Amino acid sequence: MSEPLLELKDIKMYFPIKEKVFKKPVNHVKAVNGVSLTVRKGETLGIVGESGCGKSTLARTIVGLLEPTSGDILFEGESILGYNKKQMHELRRDIQMVYQDPYTSLNPRMKAGEIIAAPLKAFKMTSNLNERVYELLDLVGLKREDADKLPHQFSGGQRQRIGIARALALNPKLLILDEPVSALDVSVQAQVINLLEDLQEELGLTYVFIAHDLSVIKHIADKVAVMYLGKVMELSDSDTLYHHSKHPYTNALLSAIPLPDPEKERQRQRIMLKGELPSPANPPSGCIFHTRCPIAQAFCKQHIPVLEEKDGNNPNHQVACFYPQETEAIVNSQ
Amino acid sequence: MLEVKNLKTYIDTGSGTVKAVDNVSFQIEAGETICIVGESGSGKSVLAHSIMQLNPSPPVFHPEGEILFEGKNLLDLSEKELRRIRGNEISMIFQDPMSSLNPVFRVGDQLIEAIRSHEKVSKKNAKKRALELLTDVGIPDPERRLYDYPHQFSGGMRQRVLIAIALAGRPKVLIADEPTTALDVTIQAQILELMRSIQKKYETAIILITHDLGVVAQIADKVLVMYSGRIVEKGSVSDIFYRSTMPYTWSLLRSLPRIDADASNRLIPIQGQPSNLIDRPKGCHFAPRCPFATEACLEIDPALTKRGEGHWAACILSEEEFSNKKQELEVYAQKGAVK
């Protein structure tokens, strides 16, 4: 097993809710509430969850766009939270991000070539600038002529390729991908997923891949963390998660994804979750999932489950639940 | 009950006329669900808006075609007559539950307004009916919720309210334009379940527009596949998923990441980008991206031809040629010759 590249230690990110007049914080939105994760070199960690589970906030704390309320972030074994401006600037060489919306994350007045060159200029790596830009265009499957086009002349998938080229310009070690394919058309999603897989192999990249779509994550991730209301509910290697998930939330998520196969789809047992996501300002007591959990007991309302190993055979499989159980045949693999 | 015949919806733009819907025909019966699938820009939403006559005109016009609802052609009706049909007979749910409700009015008032614009009832009776509707769509504690504002509702709950409003006039046809796209999967499952139970109860015909083939597999009786403004394949849900004879449908299904597939298999994408609606290629519109395209495809624009009972596809390949080509491609793929 390779060494850890990124370690998150008990990250908490609270946003204050302020009172109207004196702006005194009266409560906090607990967007990320104690998340510990390790990403090893060359591996892809998938983070899934529904909207509001804190997955994007977590991404923003990793790249340093937000400073966590508490906890620690280690990159190559070194804590990056105490970094000053200059150190942070240097760190951005190594950690880059690809955003969800290829329509708003590119400056409409800059040519594709300029967009890709921007990070190089920021780090004064301007020797052979054009050559490097062409190389990057090539890498993501665009043509040299495309360097002179403006973003509106590209389709969504091509724009996302520009975003990826920009992120790769500085030869980063870690790429944070925040829903990189969810704004794309279905016929183009597969192209971008394949591109990301090729790039990872070619350049030895490490990915943190955030998505709400479990089927996309299944294709790309080695390890998956399922988040709910700011906490990790289940963490496991991808294979185990998709075939032997034990947390009732993961089971419900998996069963809710419609399969593009009418016969299978109409025979499936679905686990319907009751109600809606509680507010992260006032999360439920005990296990945060108990209000929607189909198997919740009275015990779950008072006690908080920790994320721990529940399966003696697989130390990589951790579940935060008092009554973990596999549900049969949620996903029948052929 | 509702029949669309050779409908064309064109849009005048500064850079030319866009044939957003080009010669589309289909029909739907009571209690049936038709899904219209396609990528963005395929014309599926314009088609839905055409049925309701909600496209702004100009720039949108209909050079040809008929939309027959119970014998009347909706394209010939006056605005006043249309208003009687919208909501009462044919109703629509939109994609974004966040922006489809008025934020400054209470949900109950918006619902009561919808009910009273369809039938002459007293406020008191309308309120009773509003409560019924909210209960129908599964909103807990409807009595209190009537007095809440839209921002106090979550996305899934708002979509339920919109469904309630759409049902207020007891429509025979419900058009849902990507009703679950903005929602999370667990909520999506709830909403689809709700639509199914409503259909059972009221025999509503549902036209569901979506890009999610999983949703189609779950809910559709019949499927229309659209590509650059045209129907390229239509048939029953199993025709489309198991016996597709149109390369676009087939490659789209093959390109999907699926949770029931082996994750180590590489995805097989469709090459290229969706086509530009203004200067469309001569010949088959899908030809530039089609894995089976021949020279002939660049010349001949294929018409929908019959492939089985109720199954139509637009491709010059015969079923036999198509299955041969499929096999060839699989052999290549296994050899790793096709990346």
pLDDT in tens, B144-171: 889 999 988 888 888 889 988 988 888 8
Give B150 to chain A, closest Cα distance, Å. 15
Secondary structure class of A11 (helix, strand, coil): strand
Number of Cβ pairs < 8 A linking chain A and chain B: 147
When mean pLDDT is compared across A266-270, A273-277, B162-166, the lowest value belongs to A273-277
**CB-CB under 8 Å, B263 with A238:** yes
Report CA-CA distances (Å) from B313 to A155, A274, B224, B250: 27, 41, 10, 11
Per-residue pLDDT at B279 exceeds 80: no
Task: Tell me what pLDDT residue B337 has.
Answer: 44
Range of weakest confidence among A222-226, B215-219, B236-240, B287-291: B287-291
Report the percent of chain B where pLDDT is more than 70. Answer: 96
ipTM for this model: 0.81
Half-sphere exposure of B85 (CA within 13 A, CB side): 23
Structure tokens of A142? 């665009």
What sign does the CA torsion over A185, A190, A193, A198 have? Answer: negative
Nearest CA in chain A to B42: A185
The pLDDT score that the predictor gives to residue A282 is: 86
Q: Which of A190, A239, A270 lies closest to B267 in CB terms?
A: A190
pLDDT per position as a tens digit, A291-324: 999 888 999 999 999 998 887 778 889 999 999 8
The answer to whether A73 and A64 have CB atoms below 8 angstroms apart is no
CA distance B306 to A333: 34
Structure-model confidence comparison of residues A326 and A256, the more confident one: A256
Average pLDDT over residues A33-57: 91
The predicted structure's pLDDT at residue B335: 62
Identify the closest residue of chain A to B182 by CA–CA distance: A51
Residue A176, H or E segment: strand A174-178
Average pLDDT for B219-231:
92
Nearest to B259 among A51, A197, A257 (CB): A257
Nearest chain B residue to A270 by CA: give it: B189
Cβ pair B302, B321 in contact under 8 A: no
User: Per the omega criterion (within 30 degrees of 0), is the bond before B59 cis?
Assistant: yes
b/e per residue B129-149 (b: at least 16 CB within 10 A): bbbebbebbbbeebeebbebb
Q: Which of A187, A219, A259 sits opposite B260 (nearest CB)?
A: A259
Q: Are A258 and B214 within 8 A, CB to CB?
A: yes
Task: With beta carbons under 8 A apart, name residues in chain A contacting B216.
Answer: 260
Cα B292–chain centre separation: 27
Contacts of A229 (CB under 8 A, 6+ apart): A30, A33, A52, A53, A54, A277, A278, A280, A283, A288, A289
Task: Give the distance from residue B303's alpha carbon to the nearest chain A alpha carbon, in angstroms.
Answer: 23
Q: How confident is the model at residue B334 (pLDDT cuts 50, 70, 90)?
A: low
Residue B161, chain A, CB below 8 Å: the answer is no
Q: How many CA atoms lie within 13 A of B110 on its CB side?
A: 22
CA distance A195 to chain B (A): 10
Beta bridge partners of A25: A18
H or E stretch at A198: helix A186-203
Find out whether A44 and A209 touch, Cβ atoms under 8 Å. Answer: yes
A308–chain B nearest CA distance, Å:
25
C-beta atoms surrounding B328 within 10 Å: 12
* Residues on chain B touching A197 (C-beta within 8 angstroms): 266
A239-248, B7-16, B219-228, B263-272: range with lowest mean pLDDT: B263-272
Which pLDDT value is given to residue B57?
77
Contact B267 A155 (CB under 8 A): no
Q: Which tokens hold the place of A29?
A: 């939105």
Of A260, A263, A331, the CB nearest to B256: A260
Q: Is the pLDDT of residue A64 over 50?
A: yes
Residue ranges, comma separated, of all CATH 3.40.50.300 domains in chain B are 2-225
pLDDT, tens digit (0-9, with 9 covering 90-100), for B25-34 = 999 999 999 9
Of the candidates B185, B214, B257, which has its C-beta nearest A218's C-beta?
B257
Q: How confident is the model at residue B338 (pLDDT cuts 50, 70, 90)?
A: very low
Residue A227 confidence (pLDDT): 94
- The residues in B 198-257 lying below 8 A from A, measured between CB atoms, are 211-218, 220, 237-238, 241-242, 251-253, 255-257
Give the closest residue to B212 by CA, choosing from B42, B39, B93, B28.
Answer: B39
CB A61 within 8 A of CB A32: yes
Interface contact flag, B184 A212, Cβ < 8 Å: yes
**How many residues are listed for chain A in this entry?**
334
Nearest CA to A132 out of A164, A155, A166 is that of A166
Tell me which residue of B258, B276, B275 sits closest to B267, measured CA to CA.
Answer: B258
| pLDDT classification of B339: cutoffs 50, 70, 90 | very low
SS3 A257: coil
Q: How confident is the model at residue B127 (pLDDT cuts 50, 70, 90)?
A: very high
pLDDT confidence of A334, banded at 50, 70, 90? very low
Judged against a pLDDT cut of 60, whether residue B336 lies above it is answered with no
Q: With H, G, I as helix, E, B as strand and everything else as coil, classify residue A184.
A: coil
Task: Express as a percent the part of chain A with pLDDT over 90.
Answer: 52
Nearest-Cα residue of chain A relative to residue B239: A262
In tens, the pLDDT along A223-248 reads 999 999 999 999 999 888 888 899 99
Fold exhibited by the domain B2-225: Rossmann fold (3.40.50)
Distance of residue A92 Cα from the nearest chain B Cα, in angstroms: 31
Radius of gyration, alpha carbons of chain A: 21
Percentage of chain B surpassing pLDDT 90? 27
Backbone φ and ψ of B247, nearest 5°: -55, -35
End-to-end CA separation in angstroms for chain B: 47
Q: Is B242 left (phi over 0), alpha (psi -120 to 50) or beta?
A: alpha
The beta-carbon neighbor of B255 closest among A187, A212, A214 is A187
What mean pLDDT, rounded, does chain B reach?
A: 87
Q: For the stretch A83-103, what's the b/e string if a residue is b when 16 or more beta carbons lie within 10 angstroms of its beta carbon? A: beeeeeeebbbbbbbbbbbbe
Measured CA to CA, the distance from residue A214 to residue B143 in angstroms comes to 37
